[in-house]
Chains A and B, each alone.
Chain A
Amino acid sequence: MDYSVIMKIAAIGILTAVVSQVLKNIGKDEIATFATLAGLIIVLIMCVNMISELFDTVKLLFLM
């Protein structure tokens, strides 16, 4: 578990911002929305995996 995951999330955030900005400029507003949504879902899946790992550890540690 190290800090690279935070940088990964930041990179995905900046990337989706750029992509949606470009798509908006060429007039594809609805595709820009979907690109943002896809980025958010990818990041959320990464986060949910980490949270489930944390919950497993807490269950093991606190004898729940």
Chain B
Amino acid sequence: MKRMEIFKIVGIGLLTCVVATLIKQIRPEFYIVVILSGSVVILMMIVNELQVLFDYFLTIFGQTGLDYELFASILKILGVGYLTEFASGICVDSGNASIGDKIILAGKVLIVVLSLPIITSLLDIIIEILP
């Protein structure tokens, strides 16, 4: 039954495209809201599958014996990446590519800041190995 989800998502995506093109000609200011709603609907549909996937990754990660904080920061980086991509795509679609670029830059900076603990633990390991 899970495989039927893709037909639903493809249908909603194509429907959003048609509605957005239709609405752009009569009310251009509604265009961006249609695109935004379509994106949110599609993203909300895959959230449950993503939850299953992350639980599985967490099980694997638990068997490696590494610090849980590392897994949490990787998840946070993923979240920042997804949200940044979502928002910048909407901005580019609405014709404001420069705002989209700024959002991507902010996302990159935040990802580097979030990955500092990982870099620190890597450096600690290297210092331990060195004689």
Contacts and interface: CB of A to CB of B under 8 A. Distances in A.
Contacts, number: 94
Interface residues of B, number: 32
Contact of B37 (A50, A55, A63): A50
Interface of B: 11-12, 15-16, 19, 22-23, 26-27, 29-30, 33-34, 36-38, 40-41, 43-45, 47, 50-51, 54, 72, 75-76, 78-79, 82-83
A16 B30 CA distance: 10
Contacts of A12: 30
Contact count band on A: 20 to 34
Nearest to A40: B29
A51 B36 contact: yes
Contacts of A3: 11-12, 15-16, 41
